[in-house]
Chains A and B, each alone.
Chain A
């Protein structure tokens, strides 16, 4: 199974953009890149997903490298409510989400 690598934690100031990196050097051609986040004491929440092209939605943007070996989740203007653990996950052809330990995002007011 292809794996992802993320920094353990990151800090950012409130109302500034946040770029969360993810490496997935063993990704296969059909693996989708998914991002979920988990707020304290809650179940994970879907953020965004993509295959090859950059993606945007109301929550975030996903920038995917041309060789697909890495991607970056972009929160355009972080708020205190964005403090969470962010997971970069690959959905493989068996429909399984392979989770890592994620990045704990700390937002400073």
Chain B
């Protein structure tokens, strides 16, 4: 049973460029969340996708956008990259729940470096 996979593992971009990160959820999961983790800090919630729609969003600018496909995989897009966007980007998958007992399974992350 494959867990959460992310690609690419590492990425180097320059300021102003655009980047797309990809995530495949754990088998059987239908919800994907994206997080940004700066060095030495805890993950910061970016947004969550369920049924191909953004369900919740954290405090991130519109430069951060996403998409979920019918097979539940997801993409995170960041436009007009800034130096401060350098971080580890984590994808987590889960099953939609009606109560707040959502257990999330994380991928290994994509390390983005903006020069």
Contact in complex: B102, A95 (CB < 8 Å) = yes
Residues of B with C-beta under 8 A to A98: 45
Known: A44-B90, A44-B106, A94-B56. A99 touches B100 (CB 8 A): no
Known: A32-B101, A49-B101. A101 touches B109 (CB 8 A): no
Known: A42-B108, A43-B109, A45-B106. A96 touches B101 (CB 8 A): no
Contact in complex: B100, A93 (CB < 8 Å) = yes
Contact in complex: B101, A91 (CB < 8 Å) = yes
Chain B residue with Cβ nearest A41: B108
Q: How many angstroms between the C-alpha atoms of A45 and B3 in the bound complex?
A: 12
Q: Is B42 an interface residue (CB 8 A)?
A: yes
Interface size class of B (residues with CB under 8 A): 20 to 34
- A residues touching B (Cβ–Cβ < 8 Å)? 30-32, 34, 42-46, 49, 87, 91-102
Cβ contacts A to B, 21 pairs, < 8 Å: A30-B100, A42-B108, A43-B90, A43-B107, A43-B109, A44-B43, A44-B104, A46-B104, A87-B42, A91-B101, A91-B102, A93-B100, A94-B56, A95-B48, A96-B45, A96-B56, A99-B42, A99-B45, A100-B42, A101-B40, A102-B42
- B residues touching A (Cβ–Cβ < 8 Å)? 4, 35, 40-45, 48, 55-56, 58, 90, 92, 97, 100-109
